[in-house]
């Protein structure tokens, strides 16, 4: 028995070491740093209490980044979720080319975000195809392309993100749809239910846990939006996000204390948001 | 009705794959060609952009770095996640519950929180700007442990017990009996870890600075920062980043899908 105990600890040690060194310690370290004025190239640093946090709320750049992040999360998730669900319902039924449609929709989401962002940087630019398309449709896109205007830059990045991730969530919805027992639909048909009724009273309620899962993981991911902003606008034209702000202050200006405080604030916001989502959405049904 | 649905699905499909087709097309442009519609649909193809970036540019090095880091991280994850997952599923050691909760905890917390402290730590450990910085923090992924443990929970222990009665040592049981049984789960794990690592951007961006250890996505993002953008070369580099992903997708589609949906349909 003793040997088994030793063996268990030994076998799990890669994780235990990784957790302690690369997760738990950094979590505490970062929490501590948030209360100091630690910067690069400074051997001594001072305990500053809540000063970093207070300054963050007075920092226009941070507030703007935070607002943009909320716009990004709240503006993309409903669209992504609804479109993903519609696509899942459309490709679920037997249809010629079913596998091709599924794969084609899914492929953008496993492609490198850097590559996608580069491609769209061109498509959104003044001589890019999306710009030309908008003109052809009689819209008046900003003169220098979608990304070089604070009116459209953030919205354009959001649209790209929706485009990229719908296929991923479609797959999750498909798995959820498959788990709904066929007998329920058959029984409903026998009872004379319409397609709409079946959708509202069988599909949606039974899919609820999957929908909650999709919304929660998508929120956690979207709150951390960074790569597309780094590649497409470098945070200019009103596109800076919370993680972009942390990157700028922590790793460009090396204000480690300040950046850590910002990171913790975002952490708390994400935690509250996730708990609220889980609570609200689980109460809605039954 | 069916025809309407097919047309709608096809239009969406065109919308979804157009950007990638555009990327491949631009990457095959002969030198000096523009990006106008006539030039895009013209049959003139050239592999010159690829030749340029692989010979005179450093793209071959960046590709190699991405591949090296991706393979090492994937192999490390297969081994370590398997051992840890096995311990969580089969060994009643003290604190097992606590350490397993730590796996779930890390699965849920947003990783931006460790950017700054890890950056400082890697500097202090002398690992900043080395391959180690790209490998060590990612060598044991909680999602991998989770996958292995869930898989083992569904597996009966009779094979292991039979081997034990036959006098096999613990090591033999682990590597000769349990590991082969876990192959399906390990395949899912390996593919997921490799793809995530291959596309990873933020951490390689901040944990390295010199070209000798730069990965492909970082190189592409930084290339774009230079003066006028040469799109056919940039898209050739981008294609190099996408082709392995597409290849993995075509071969291992089933594993990718089950990796993604493993978490969702748990309830």
Among candidate residues B62, B60, B59, B56, the one with its CA nearest the CA of residue B31: B56
User: Region A70-92: what's the mean pLDDT?
Assistant: 94
Length of chain B: 267
How many interface pairs between A and B have CB atoms less than 8 angstroms apart? 256
3-class state of residue A125 by DSSP: strand
Which residue's entry shows tokens 């709320």? A57
Q: Residue A111: which of B20, B84, B114 has the nearest Cβ?
A: B20
Contact across the interface for B2 and A123, Cβ inside 8 Å: no
Q: Which two tokens stand for residue A259?
A: 């950046």
DSSP letters spanning chain B: -HHHHHHHHHHHHHHHHHHHHHHHHHHTPPTT---SHHHHHS-----HHHHHHHHTSSHHHHHHHHHHHHHHHHHHHHHHHHHHHHHHHH---TTHHHHHHHHHHHHHS-GGGGHHHHHHHHHHTT-TTSHHHHHGGGSS-HHHHHHHHHHHHTS-SHHHHHHHHTT--HHHIIIIIIHHHTHHHHHHHHHHHHHHHHH--HHHHHH--SGGG--HHHHHHHHTTSSS--HHHHHHHHHHHHHHHHHHHHHHHHHHHHHHHTTGGG-
What pLDDT digit, counting tens, does each position of B120-130 carry? Answer: 999 999 999 99
Q: Which residues of A touch B118 (CB under 8 A)?
A: 22, 26
Residue numbers in B near A18 (CB within 8 A): 80, 137, 139-140
DSSP secondary structure letter of residue A199: I
Chain B CB contacts of A110 under 8 Å are 195, 199, 245, 249, 256
**Chain B environment of A26 (Cβ under 8 Å):** 113-114, 117-118, 121
Q: Do B116 and A259 make contact, defined as CB atoms within 8 angstroms?
A: yes
Is the dihedral angle over the CA atoms A49, A53, A57, A60 positive or is it negative? positive
> Residue B174: closest CA among chain A residues belongs to which residue?
A11
What residues are paired with A36 via a beta bridge? A47
Minimum distance, in Å, between the CA of residue A208 and any CA atom of chain B: 11
pLDDT of residue B39: 76
Q: Which CATH class is domain B55-266?
A: mainly alpha
CA A238 to chain centre: 19
Contacts of B264 in chain A (CB under 8 A): 172, 175-176, 210, 213-214
Cβ–Cβ under 8 Å, residues B122 and B86: no
**CA proximity to A108, closest of A120, A96, A98, A97:** A120
Number of helical H runs and strand E runs in chain A = 14, 0
Residue B240: name the closest of B63, B74, B70, B72 by CA.
B63
Low-confidence stretches of chain B (pLDDT < 50) are 266-267
Mutate to test the interface with A, among B88, B101, B112 (most CBs of A within 10 A): B112
Which residues of chain B are within 8 Å of residue A256 when distances are taken between CB atoms? 116, 120
Residue B241's nearest CA partner among B93, B25, B119, B65 is B65
Q: For chain B, which residues make up each domain, given as ranges?
A: 55-266
Who contacts A242 (Cβ-Cβ below 8 Å, separation ≥6)? A62, A65, A66, A69, A223, A224, A262, A266, B112
- The Cα of A161 is separated from the nearest Cα of chain B by a number of Å equal to 12
CA distance B146 to A172: 18
Residue of A112, A169, A177 to mutate when probing chain B, most B C-beta within 10 A: A112
What pLDDT does residue A179 have?
Answer: 85
Within 13 Å, how many C-alpha atoms sit on residue B44's CB side? 13
- Partners of A171 on chain B (C-beta within 8 Å) are 257, 260-261
Q: Which two tokens stand for residue B242?
A: 């996408």
pLDDT of residue A3: 60
Across residues A167-171, what is the average pLDDT?
92
Facing residue for A119 by CB, picked from B15, B23, B81: B23
- Inter-chain CB proximity B260 and A168 less than 8 Å: yes
Residue-wise pLDDT tens digits, B66-117: 999 999 999 999 999 999 999 998 888 888 889 999 998 898 888 899 999 9
Angle at A35 between CA A31 and CA A38, to 5 degrees: 100
The residue among A30, A221, A249, A226 whose CA lies nearest residue B114 is A30
pLDDT computed for residue B42 by the predictor:
76
pLDDT at A2: 56
Q: In this model, does residue A6 exceed pLDDT 70? A: no
- Domains of chain A listed by start with CATH number: 58-284 (1.10.3720.10)
User: Which range is least confidently modeled, A20-24, A185-189, B176-180, B254-258?
Assistant: B254-258
What residue of B is the nearest CA neighbor of A6?
B93
- What pTM did the predictor assign? 0.91
On average, the pLDDT of chain A sits at 89
* Average pLDDT of the residues in A85-92: 92
Verify whether the Cβ–Cβ distance B80 to A16 is below 8 Å. Answer: no
The tokens describing B128, both together, are: 């900043």
Is 50 exceeded by the pLDDT of residue A286?
no
Residue B255 is predicted with a pLDDT of 81
CA distance B158 to B163: 9
B45: left (phi over 0), alpha (psi -120 to 50) or beta: beta
Interface test with B, best of A10, A26, A243 (most B CBs within 10 A): A26
A139 three-class SS: coil
Residue A284 confidence class, pLDDT cut points 50, 70, 90: low
Short-list B131, B106, B113, B103, CA closest to B210: B131
**Are A30 and B117 within 8 A, CB to CB?**
yes
Beta carbons of A119 and B238 less than 8 Å apart: yes
Angle, to 10 degrees, between the axis of helix B231-261 and the axis of helix B48-55?
A: 90
Q: For A212-231, how does the pLDDT look when each residue is reduced to its tens digit (9 = 90+)? A: 889 988 998 999 999 999 99
């Amino acid at each position: 028995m003793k040997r088994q105990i030793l063996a268990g600890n030994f076998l799990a040690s890669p994780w235990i070491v990784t957790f302690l060194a690369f997760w738990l310690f950094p979590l505490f370290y970062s929490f501590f740093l948030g209360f100091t004025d630690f910067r690069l190239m400074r051997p001594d640093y001072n305990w500053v209490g809540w000063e970093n946090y207070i300054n963050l709320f007075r920092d226009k750049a941070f507030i703007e980044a935070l607002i943009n992040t909320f716009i990004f999360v709240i503006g993309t998730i409903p669209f992504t979720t609804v479109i993903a669900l519609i696509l899942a319902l459309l490709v679920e039924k037997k249809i010629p080319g079913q596998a091709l449609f599924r794969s084609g929709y899914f492929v953008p989401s496993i492609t490198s975000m850097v590559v996608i962002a580069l491609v769209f940087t061109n498509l959104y630019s003044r001589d890019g195809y999306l710009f030309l398309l908008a003109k052809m449709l009689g819209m008046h896109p900003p003169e220098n392309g979608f990304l070089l205007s604070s009116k459209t830059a953030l919205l354009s990045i959001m649209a790209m993100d929706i485009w990229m991730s719908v296929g991923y969530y479609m797959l999750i919805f498909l798995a959820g749809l498959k788990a709904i027992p066929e007998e329920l639909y058959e029984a409903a048909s026998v009872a004379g239910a319409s397609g709409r009724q079946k959708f509202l009273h069988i599909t949606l309620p039974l899919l609820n846990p999957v929908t909650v899962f999709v919304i929660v993981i998508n929120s956690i991911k979207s709150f951390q939006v960074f790569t597309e902003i780094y590649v497409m606008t470098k945070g200019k034209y009103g596109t800076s996000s919370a993680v972009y702000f942390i990157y700028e202050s922590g790793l460009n200006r090396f204000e480690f204390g300040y950046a850590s405080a910002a990171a913790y604030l975002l952490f708390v916001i994400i935690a509250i948001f996730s708990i609220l989502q889980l609570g609200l959405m689980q109460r809605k049904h039954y | 009705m069916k025809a309407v649905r097919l047309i709608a699905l096809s239009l969406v499909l065109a919308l979804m794959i157009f950007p990638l087709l555009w990327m491949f097309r631009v990457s095959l442009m002969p030198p000096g060609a523009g990006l106008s519609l006539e030039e895009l649909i013209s049959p003139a193809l050239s592999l010159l952009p690829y030749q340029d970036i692989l010979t005179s540019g450093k793209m071959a090095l960046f590709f190699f770095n991405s591949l090296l880091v991706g393979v090492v991280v994937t192999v490390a994850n297969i081994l370590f996640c398997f051992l840890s997952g096995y311990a969580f599923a089969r060994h009643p050691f003290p604190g097992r519950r606590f350490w397993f909760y730590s796996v779930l905890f890390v699965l849920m917390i947003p990783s931006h929180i460790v950017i700054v402290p890890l950056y400082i730590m890697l500097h202090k450990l002398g690992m900043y700007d080395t391959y180690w910085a790209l490998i060590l923090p990612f060598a044991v992924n909680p999602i991998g442990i989770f996958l292995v443990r869930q898989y083992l929970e569904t597996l009966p222990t009779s094979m292991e017990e039979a081997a034990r009665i036959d006098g096999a040592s613990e090591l033999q049981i682990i590597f000769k009996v349990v590991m082969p049984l876990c192959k399906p789960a390990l395949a899912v794990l390996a593919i997921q870890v490799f793809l995530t690592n291959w596309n990873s951007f933020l951490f390689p961006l901040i944990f390295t600075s010199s070209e000798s250890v730069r990965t492909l996505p970082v190189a592409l993002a930084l290339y774009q920062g230079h003066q006028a953008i040469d799109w056919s070369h940039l898209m050739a580099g981008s294609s190099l980043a996408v082709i392995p992903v597409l290849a993995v997708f075509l071969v291992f589609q089933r594993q990718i899908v089950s990796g993604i949906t493993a978490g969702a349909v748990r309830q």
